């Protein structure tokens, strides 16, 4: 789906020639740019949910509790 969208942007909107070096490079760049932005968005969303669930006090308590059993 992302590959088709990158191809659509490259060959229909930007109007580059299909199969040319610049067309393939642009399609590759757009495909991975979209993919990286989606992955970063998902990761940032998950981390923000985790950070809202764990307050700094709760994280300190969890870490102090684990240090007792580790030997620290």
What is the average per-residue pLDDT within 36-55? 92
Q: What is the pLDDT of residue 70?
A: 59
Residue 55 has pLDDT above 70, yes or no: yes
Position 64 pLDDT exceeds 90: no
Residues 20/32, Cβ–Cβ less than 8 Å: no
> Over the Cα atoms of the chain, what is R_g?
22
Q: Report the C-alpha gap between 20 and 28 in whole angstroms.
A: 12
């Amino acid at each position: 789906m992302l590959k088709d969208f990158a191809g659509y942007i490259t060959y229909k909107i930007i109007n580059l020639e299909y199969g040319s070096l610049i067309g393939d490079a642009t399609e590759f760049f757009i495909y991975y740019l979209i993919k990286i932005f989606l992955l970063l968005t998902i990761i940032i969303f998950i981390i923000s949910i985790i950070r809202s669930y764990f307050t700094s006090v709760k994280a300190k308590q969890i870490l102090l509790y684990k240090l007792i059993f580790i030997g620290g």
